[in-house]
Amino acid sequence: MFCSKKKSLEVERIVKANDREYNEKFQYADNRIHTSKYNILTFLPINLFEQFQRVANAYFLFLLILQLIPEISSLTWFTTIVPLVLVITMTAVKDATDDYFRHKSDNQVNNRLSEVLIDSKLQNEKWMNVKVGDVIKLENNQFVAADLLLLSSSEPHGLCYIETAELDGETNLKVRHALSVTSELGADFSRLAKFDGPDTKLMQNSGKTKFKRTSIDKLLNTLVIWIFGFLVCLGIILAIGNSIWENQVGDQFRTFLFWNEGEKNSVFSGFLTFWSYIIILNTVVPISLYVSMEVIRLGHSYFINWDRKMYYSGKSTPAEARTTTLNEELGQIEYVFSDKTGTLTQNIMTFKKCSINGKIYGEVPEDMGQKTDIPKKNEPMDFSVNLQADRTFQFFDHHLMESVKLGDSKVYEFLRLLALCHTVMSEENSAGQLIYQVQSPDEGALVTAARNFGFIFKSRTPDTITVEELGTLVTYQLLAFLDFNNIRKRMSVIVRNPEGQIKLYSKGADTILFEKLHPSNEDLLTLTTDHLSEFAGEGLRTLAIAYRDLDDNYFKEWHKMLEDANTLKDERDERIAGLYEEIERDLMLLGATAVEDKLQEGVTETIASLSLANIKIWVLTGDKQETAINIGYACNMLTDDMNDVFIVAGNTAVEVREELRKAKENLFGQNRSSSNGHVVFEKQQLELDSVVEETITGDYGLIINGHSLAHALESDVKNDLLELACMCKTVVCCRVTPLQKAQVVELVRNYRNAVTLAIGDGANDVSMIKSAHIGVGISGQEGLQAVLASDYSFAQFRYLQRLLLVHGRWSYFRMCKFLGYFFYKNFAFTLVHFWFGFFCGFSAQTVYDQWFITLFNIVYTSLPVLAMGIFDQDVSDQNSMDYPQLYKPGQLNLLFNKRQFFICIAHGIYTSLALFFIPYGAFYNAAGEDGQHIADYQSFAVTMATSLVIVVSVQIALDTSYWTVINHVFIWGSIATYFSILFMMHSNGIFGIFPNQFPFVGNVRHSLTQKCIWLVILLTTVASVVPVVIVRFLKMDLCPTLSDQIRQRQKAQKKARPLRSRRPQTRRSSSRRSGYAFAHQEGYGELITSGKNMRAKNPPLTSGLEKTLYNSTSWIENFCKKTTDTVSCFSQDKAVKL
């Protein structure tokens, strides 16, 4: 893609190094990163377009146009335009604020500085101004914001080590090689910008920013359409009534009103009346509904931002709601899609335990078979005597150090193996401290453990490895390096010690290495196997450790065959693998290691709690299958108690389809008794029948590889994949690409009709985060890309539990109560006009005065419903966490759906009947205490308005579950405000100022001093409220919900709540999973023995980043000289094709 506007696929890219003028003619994209939605010019049109996608906003705009027509308008235009402009303005300000922060985050990345070669000298340039073809100088630990081509490096042979934590969360170092023709340009890191801005891999995988709306928003759109249809029906009924009335009764008024015959046609009168009533009855969906919803959502967002229990003090990172429109959706999540590295794990490997010669060392729990008396077991060992020890390393078993001091030969050999058999590179920092550069964090943990116990890996060359053994420098001759790969699942080194002995040291997966042991190891093998099972039961990554003494003559013969095999052109790899197998036999077992792939704090408890809330968690990771499975067991997502764990690893579509079919047969076969044989294996639609899922008893897991997933996502197979996956308790997708992550989310989102949440920490999670209904970014050390694309962010995975079970559930609960009450009160308020139409000649006369109609939703009833929508809660936050089952009503959409909507409407219709006909019947032919007639229009209106305000206030008091000072002030204060405004509008003073707007002077004072009026108001209130109280009492008493039960228990146990029982630690003994080098990549052994990653011997001892680096001037001169003398491909008449 040459630029962001071009859609054609780019096959090749022509670039000239350091030639901006030439490269600009191809119109490559600039390097500016855009994650924002608007700019100054596009904000207004795009935002208005998005807002008027809401049916309600378009509906109110239509009503505003109608109110501007004098012939049909019964209400003044300001009753609609003021709230419409208010809600659109508030939403626009909120959207602008959200996008401002996106611009701010983009600017932080775009304005970072880089050193670019311009006019033969290095100049500081912002990353957003870097162009394709620019030559850039990079230094250690410097941020990179473009796709680059390595030209040269300070490392030998043009190597550099990069960390891609910001892309994929991995802190492992990856090796990159410079171009051979440019590798000797200079010692500074120098790179050629190849892809910029939207063309980079990061931005290409980010996906498009979608306009997200909650399921409640979508439901409201449907309900607004239904309500509009309902209004049309009411308008037609009243219009027909008006035509009939005009035809039969209206004729009698024509002479009195001096109308000419035929001047007013009854049909035309009905037509005008129809539109008049559409305007009058529009308040069943007032615009204040949307204003209130935005305010409530904003309040919920601030609660998330202010929640101290989601504040991570380790990095001073609070939780952040980056959007304010999706809060209630957090209470309806059914599927969580999670990344692994950096999200579930810290990507920190810790050496926890080991088994040496049949004895366990480490934090051995007292309930294990082999008990050890651990002195000071709660205190870590003191390694201060070892000046070169890693101060961050902790080990709690002092027996291992005692064995070292006693000179245990097996312990020595064990630690020596850890210090020799690895691919770690060492260097010293500016303070002279030993630093390890590790390609795999597993190896880093093992080498660091050996270092702290006195066997310190110091340095290496292509032919030697130097280790400081208990203070003595020992140099071993490296004779051969038998590298790791996915098939071997082990690595070995062959070394010659100073005494001339040749030894093979090997470490690897226990299932593989145990097959290579000498028969004399049978007893030790049995004991070590038990230890490995115990380690694996605790979720630790295990490794077997073994060695072999080699005869000098045998090794020479073997090495000669290896050299010959390396020269072969055909079957070279197979021949080398056979030689490795030959020498890696008859090994002597030393023991095993147990490394903890450290989970983030609270991950296991969070996953267990979310599972109880019926939330299914799928892990989508780019890691290998073994790693993903190990983490699955460590998190208790996978357990040995599961009925079965299906593994799909087919390489073709046919194989994948067959594996899915067999898994489904196995799953249904084990549950055939409970399903009575009525199981349908093939469905015509992807919408799965939930009844089939309910027939499945037991727990199942599914693990699928990325290459298999690519076939499974094809149209003819994805039905089988989705059906099987949704019946499994746990799904793990490993070796998946960012695009596949998004495809899996889209599959479940579209065909399961379920609310999804995606959580990740790296740039490779961005497309998944954008595809899900809710995107959550982990703000940690892995960069900001996931956070920038997310809807919510926090620092630790464990906060997801509180975000969903507390904030999400409360937001959904509050929004549903708010909507139910809002529709109720507005139907009760509005339908009085409908009943009044039958008694006013269908003349479109309003019952209430226009000021009451204008102020009812804005002043009289707005604050109480806002207080309930913002602060209400059925149970406390702790009970929400303790009882995850409370979350299920949101998933089933029980609290506000079409059925609940009709119940609210029926309640509102009943209340409107009571509000109109009780005062009407009481006033019919009635006289006041002074003997005068009281059934005048304004007294009737005041009585109904007062009854309405009191009824809806009492009703919200009954609906409020959690009382605060604010609720009291808003509810009772609204009633007081109503009376204050009512008396003011009917006072002499306001009449003197505005006689035309407030003509009914003194009416309120006259009406509300009548005892019969108050009796009517009391009767109306009782008739409206008592049936609701009775129904709710019977419902709570006869069939209480879980929320009702917990609320009663909460009230009864306010004094002291019993301590929550902690879930006992489960121990698995039947599944042993070797965790060897899961992050390890093949090829490092060859890299080490070739010496390409070694510096020259006896380098000058300089410090920091200036080690062996040339100065900038010489680097530039070398580049310029090389450009003219050697690299002819960079000349003016020939371009490089990348």
Give the pair of three-digit tokens for residue 1007.
């009406």
Nearest Cα neighbor of 624 from 1082, 201, 1066, 203 is 1082
Residue 507 bridge partners (DSSP): 491, 545
Q: Which of 98, 134, 339, 720 is catalytic?
A: 339
What SS3 state is found at 360?
strand
Q: Left, alpha or beta for 155 (phi > 0: left; psi -120 to 50: alpha)?
A: beta
- Map tokens 């799928």 to a residue: 618
Q: How far is CA 38 from CA 57, 97, 98, in A?
A: 21, 11, 10
**Phi, psi dihedrals of residue 586, rounded to the nearest 5°:** 55, 40
DSSP assignment, residue 1075?
-
Burial of 874 (0-12, 13-18, 19+ CB in 10 A): buried
CA pair distance 843, 838, nearest whole angstrom: 9
Separation between Cα atoms, residue 1081 and residue 419, nearest integer Å = 19
- Closest listed residue to residue 728, CA positions, set 755, 706, 756, 698: 698
CA pair distance 544, 555, nearest whole angstrom: 23
Q: Which one, of 170, 184, 179, 154, lies nearest residue 427 by Cα?
A: 154
Vertex 600 angle, CA 771 and 777, to 5°: 25
β-pairing, 730-734 with 616-620? Answer: parallel
Q: Is the dihedral of CA 189, 194, 199, 202 positive or negative?
A: negative
Asked whether the CA dihedral 30, 36, 41, 42 is positive or negative, the reply is positive
The single residue listed with the structure tokens 């809330």 is: 613
- Planar angle of CA 1012, 1015, 1017, nearest 5 degrees: 115
Nearest to 978 by CA among 953, 1013, 960, 995: 953
Nearest to 190 by CA among 111, 132, 122: 122
Which of 283, 294, 289, 285 minimizes the C-alpha distance to 852? 283
Phi, psi of 138 (to 5 degrees): -115, 145
At residue 523, what is the residue type? D
Look up 339 and say whether it is catalytic.
yes
Instruction: Label residues 605-644 b or e (16+ Cβ within 10 Å = b).
Output: bbbbbbbebebbbbbbbbbbbbbbbbbbbbbbbbbeeeee
Contacts of 310 (CB under 8 A, 6+ apart): 304, 318, 319, 794, 799, 802, 803
In the block, tokens 């311009």 appear at: 118
Provide the 3-class DSSP secondary structure of residue 346.
strand
d(CA 204, CA 568): 41
Catalytic residues: 339
